[in-house]
Amino acid sequence: MVSTVPLRVYLDRLVDANQISRWNFLVQHLDHGIAIVFLAELIIIMCCYRLGLLRMTLRDMGLTFSAPRLKELLWGFLAGFLTYAASLPILLRHNQNRGLTDLIISDFYHPEIILVLLLFAILLPTCSEIVYRGIIFEAFLESASVVPAVLLSAFAFALVWPIFNPIIGLLLGFATALLYNRFRNVFPAIVANVVLTIAGAATLIYRRLY
């Protein structure tokens, strides 16, 4: 059996004393790794549908480049806030993603924070909504009515969403699928996803501070 002592010594040398434990350091980078792998899978799916035999355009995936209407923005914000409110009891007992919150609390101006914000607050919400609403939800809708399509796409999203908790992912999946079905545009769903992600992260940071 390979000894883990050299790994522990190496991690202890990487982490400053009395700042964050080597195990939280591992959890932090595991969170990043899972999110990056998930993002890469989403991009591969988008490329396959964009460049493959189906040749779906970005408009077919629900992504339009015209300026969103104020009504769509407000509905996206409202859906994200209501999903956050429904998820709050879970977030108040949530103990995962501590590595990320510890990093933000201990060194908010660390360069890695920019990458974390870019990954979790922009890239993941955008790509996940394009794939799970613009592609997967539409695929379910072609062979089923709206209710089964919403349920199936939400469950599929909750199983793989790498942030917070599968139950929160399920609630978000329901909300964004209904938004997409209402407006036929992924932008309100992206807004809802971003609002929930930022509000949830702020709640976890508040818990760690107080």
Q: What is the pLDDT of residues 19-48, one digit of tens each?
A: 444 434 444 444 556 777 778 888 888 888
Tell me the pLDDT tens digit for each residue of 65-95. 677 788 999 999 999 999 999 999 988 886 6
Q: How far apart are the first and last CA of the chain?
A: 42
Domain count, the chain: 1
* Tally of CB atoms within 10 A around 179: 27
Domain range spanning residue 173?
Answer: 5-209
Report whether 19 contacts 106 (CB < 8 A).
Answer: yes
Separation CA 148–CA 136 (nearest Å): 12
> Does the pTM of the predicted model rise above 0.85?
no
